[in-house]
């Protein structure tokens, strides 16, 4: 039997199949009954050779965030300032030793000036290592071993240069060798700290520590007026009490300055990284560590002094009973200063970070008119 169009035995193209939502055009496959309408609509208009567009998430893992090392703001400036501070400490120590009589006074002055040189070497080694790692970021990348090696190598260069300067410009004796060796070790240790992946935190620690060291030297101009303010008199007890209060005031102000500098630097680094899309915002532990970092550096410097400069401290303590008491008192004062700067700096940075956080919205709080979410964002299935 021949099938006629519209006959009873022919298929009825005018009647859509069960479950179809739209007629098909010639050359297009009809959607099946169980096909998702959203899928069908999304496929409409796409050519067979079209590929999905790359939104960047496949290469970087998260939209808007680029993987890779986070740049350190003002790395060159930090390196130059730290190197200048180290040079100033080495020059002032040399002038003090050469102006003193050879022997007893030179040993005492060397022991007194050693902490300043070691602290400056720690900061300079860390700052130049940050600059070196940041300069080689495109080669080192996220490889922790290469970052660590590059940081130690840069710190070793600074330590070697400082040791050569000490040996060439200072008097050739055992004191000079102790200062040169301890300074080189401090620079290498400082460079090793810059090998951490949290480079902006290390940069915040370096900037805050440098600011605190400069402040301590500048604060020496105000010590005499403060001695009188805190009741220093003719008796030894009054002078000791006044010295304690002056030292605590200096530590408190240095810690406050260190915490503010660490917070400011880390906030600057976060904004730059967010503008470039290279990292997410750091959380509160980063600010806590950055604020406590200068105090930790001072305590680390004291450890280096007591290990590397032990022979020099012993020589100074053996000069007389008064020198032994003075060296013990100075060592205790340096430890107390480091602890004060650590806790005050950490608390200051943490409080400053907390003040940048907005208030938490409760469930019962009404939502503002501009903050209402879109209807299709709340009910995607109904809007679809």
User: Within the chain, which residues score under 50 in pLDDT?
Assistant: 1-67, 369-384
Q: What residue ranges do the domains of the chain occupy?
A: 75-354
Tokens of 54: 């790359």
Q: CB-hemisphere CA count at 13 Å for 215?
A: 19
Whether 321 and 239 have beta carbons less than 8 Å apart is answered as no
Q: Give the chain's radius of gyration (CA, Å).
A: 34
Q: What is the pLDDT of residue 53?
A: 45
Of 157, 146, 158, 153, the residue nearest 197 (C-alpha): 146
Q: What letter would DSSP give residue 67?
A: -
Q: What is the pLDDT of residue 102?
A: 54
Whether 22 and 41 have beta carbons less than 8 Å apart is answered as no
Rounded to whole angstroms, the Cα distance separating 269 from 281 reads 9
Q: Which residues contact 138 (CB under 8 A, 6 or more apart)?
A: none
Residues 109-123 pLDDT 10s: 888 889 999 999 999
Rounded to whole angstroms, the Cα distance separating 153 from 139 reads 15
Cite the beta strand spans of 154-254 per DSSP E: none
Q: What is the pLDDT of residue 242?
A: 85
Q: What is the pLDDT of residue 48?
A: 42
Q: What is the pLDDT of residue 363?
A: 52
Whether 250 and 337 have beta carbons less than 8 Å apart is answered as yes
CA angle at 193 for the pair 187 and 197, rounded to the nearest 5°: 145
Of 49, 204, 57, 179, the residue nearest 123 (C-alpha): 204
Q: What is the pLDDT of residue 234?
A: 76
- The verdict on pTM exceeding 0.75 is no
């Amino acid at each position: 039997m021949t099938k006629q169009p519209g006959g009873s035995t022919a298929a009825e193209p005018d009647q859509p199949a069960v479950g179809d939502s739209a007629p098909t055009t010639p050359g297009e496959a009809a959607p099946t009954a169980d096909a998702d309408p959203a899928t069908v609509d999304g496929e409409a208009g796409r050519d067979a050779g079209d590929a999905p567009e790359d939104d960047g998430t496949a290469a970087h893992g998260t939209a808007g965030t680029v993987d890779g090392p986070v740049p350190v703001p003002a790395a060159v400036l930090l390196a130059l300032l730290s190197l200048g501070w180290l040079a100033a400490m080495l020059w002032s120590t040399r002038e003090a030793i050469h102006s003193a009589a050879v022997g007893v006074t030179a040993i005492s002055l060397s022991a007194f000036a050693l902490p300043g040189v070691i602290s400056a070497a720690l900061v300079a080694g860390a700052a130049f290592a940050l600059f070196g790692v940041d300069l080689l970021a495109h080669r080192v990348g996220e490889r922790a071993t290469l970052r660590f090696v590059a940081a130690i190598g840069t710190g070793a260069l600074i330590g070697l240069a400082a040791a050569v300067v000490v040996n060439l410009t200072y008097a050739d004796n055992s004191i000079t060798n102790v200062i040169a060796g301890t300074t080189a070790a401090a620079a290498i240790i400082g460079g090793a700290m810059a090998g951490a992946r949290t480079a902006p935190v290390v940069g915040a620690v370096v900037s805050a520590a440098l600011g605190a060291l400069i402040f301590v030297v500048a604060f020496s101009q105000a010590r005499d007026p403060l001695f009188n303010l805190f009741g220093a008199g003719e008796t030894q007890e009054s002078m000791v009490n006044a010295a304690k209060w002056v030292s605590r005031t200096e530590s408190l102000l240095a810690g406050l300055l260190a915490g503010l500098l660490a917070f400011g630097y880390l906030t600057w680094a976060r904004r730059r990284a967010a503008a470039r899309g290279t990292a997410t915002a750091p959380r509160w532990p980063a600010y806590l560590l950055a604020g406590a970092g200068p105090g930790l550096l001072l305590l680390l410097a004291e450890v280096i002094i007591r290990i590397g400069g032990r022979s020099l401290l012993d020589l100074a303590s053996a000069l007389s009973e008064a020198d032994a008491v003075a060296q013990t008192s100075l060592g205790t004062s340096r430890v107390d200063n480091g602890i004060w700067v650590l806790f005050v700096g950490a608390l200051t940075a943490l409080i400053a970070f907390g003040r940048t956080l907005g208030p938490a919205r409760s469930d019962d709080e009404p939502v503002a008119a501009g903050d209402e979410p879109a209807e299709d964002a709340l009910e995607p299935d109904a809007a679809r």
